[in-house]
């Protein structure tokens, strides 16, 4: 798939999205139960017993008391741009169409809407491992990754977590070494720390926004810790728009501490990211072979 094909499909997807958002029609994905396990693909077998360093590059310097000079954010943005990718997922996903802008039982029905899903991701290891959101690639029939230099690659899905909304991909058919962002410790990040978000909003391509961490440990699920798993979101006022999902939330040391996941359209400056501490849990379970085979695939 070449660049011109990706752009033309992106334009079609944006027209579709605009037509849906313009009226009183909403598309709602089915929600995963809070106790849903990680889903493993056969390719995940190769990671059984591997070390964290074989999949993710880490750093011990998550935050630092550094002077906020005028070039600092520019420097972090420049250093991160080569590691962030745009993701285009060809889908034919079942959605629930609601005839009203609010949820009322009996006023919705399921349909299959073909199109291109737009999202973001980033390299976490030079061998081509890419992290993104599960909702970016869920039910995708084909996934392509477009790098900053305009090269597109096919990827395989190794594992995905419908509860933490995470997915681990790997570039296929390439012997290249890729630039990476090092993973920081989200537990070391605090309210008020400066962060930037990098992604592919609305299919526009590489875009940087900046802000601070507004809150941590934000539970939006209504599920208590003792009942089931849930995301302990990092809340940020950094702009996270449709298509930015799956991109990194980066501190001023250049370490990523979250995977940008959602923003509240009706609000101003309220976005959410999955913290790196929960990404670590996700990767550890893959390396231990925990989870269950993805339905329709061979046992990992």
Per-residue pLDDT at 266: 79
Provide the sign of the torsion angle of the four alpha carbons 46, 49, 53, 56, taken in this order: positive
Instruction: State CA 147 to chain mean position distance.
Output: 15
Burial pattern 199-238, b for ≥16 Cβ within 10 A else e, equals bbbbbeebbbbbbebbebeeeeeebeeeeebbbbbbbbbb
Question: Which region among 13-22, 49-58, 106-115, 141-150 has the lowest average model confidence (pLDDT)?
Answer: 13-22
- Using DSSP bridges, classify how beta strands 207-218 and 233-236 pair: parallel, antiparallel or unpaired: antiparallel
For the chain, the structural domain boundaries read 3-293
Per-residue pLDDT at 68: 80
Per-residue pLDDT at 22: 23
- Using DSSP bridges, classify how beta strands 292-293 and 39-40 pair: parallel, antiparallel or unpaired: parallel
Mean pLDDT across the chain: 82
- 3-293 maps to which CATH number? 2.40.10.120
Active site residues: 135, 165, 245
pLDDT tens for each residue of 71-130: 999 999 999 999 999 999 887 655 555 444 444 555 555 555 556 678 999 999 999 999
Strand spans (E) along the chain:
26-28, 39-40, 84-98, 108-125, 129-132, 140-146, 152-161, 166-171, 194-199, 207-218, 233-236, 248-251, 256-263, 271-275, 292-293
């Amino acid at each position: 798939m070449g660049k011109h094909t990706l752009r033309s499909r992106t334009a079609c997807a944006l027209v579709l999205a605009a037509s849906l958002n313009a009226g009183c029609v909403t598309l709602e994905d089915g929600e995963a139960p809070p106790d849903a396990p990680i889903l493993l693909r056969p390719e995940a077998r190769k990671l059984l017993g591997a070390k964290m360093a074989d999949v993710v590059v880490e750093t011990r310097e998550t935050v630092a008391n550094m002077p906020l000079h005028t070039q600092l954010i520019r420097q972090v943005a420049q250093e991160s741009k080569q590691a962030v990718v745009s993701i285009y997922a060809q889908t034919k996903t079942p959605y629930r169409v609601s005839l009203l802008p609010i949820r009322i039982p009996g006023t919705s029905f399921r349909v299959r809407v073909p199109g291109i899903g737009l999202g973001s991701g980033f390299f976490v290891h030079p061998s081509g491992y890419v992290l993104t959101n599960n909702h970016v690639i869920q039910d995708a029939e084909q996934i392509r990754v477009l790098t900053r230099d305009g090269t597109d690659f096919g990827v395989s899905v190794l594992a995905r977590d419908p509860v933490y909304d995470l997915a681990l991909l790997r570039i296929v058919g390439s012997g290249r070494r890729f630039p990476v962002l090092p993973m920081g410790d989200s537990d070391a990040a605090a309210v008020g720390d400066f962060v930037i978000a990098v992604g592919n909003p609305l299919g526009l391509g590489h875009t940087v926004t900046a802000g601070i961490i507004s809150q941590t440990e934000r539970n939006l699920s209504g599920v208590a810790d003792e009942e089931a798993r849930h995301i302990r979101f990092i809340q940020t006022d950094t702009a996270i728009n449709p298509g930015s999902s799956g991109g990194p939330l980066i501190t001023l040391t250049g370490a990523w501490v979250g995977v940008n996941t959602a923003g509240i359209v009706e609000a101003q400056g309220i976005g959410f990211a999955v913290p790196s501490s929960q990404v670590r849990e996700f990767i550890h379970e893959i390396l231990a072979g925990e989870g269950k085979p993805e339905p329709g695939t061979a046992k990992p």
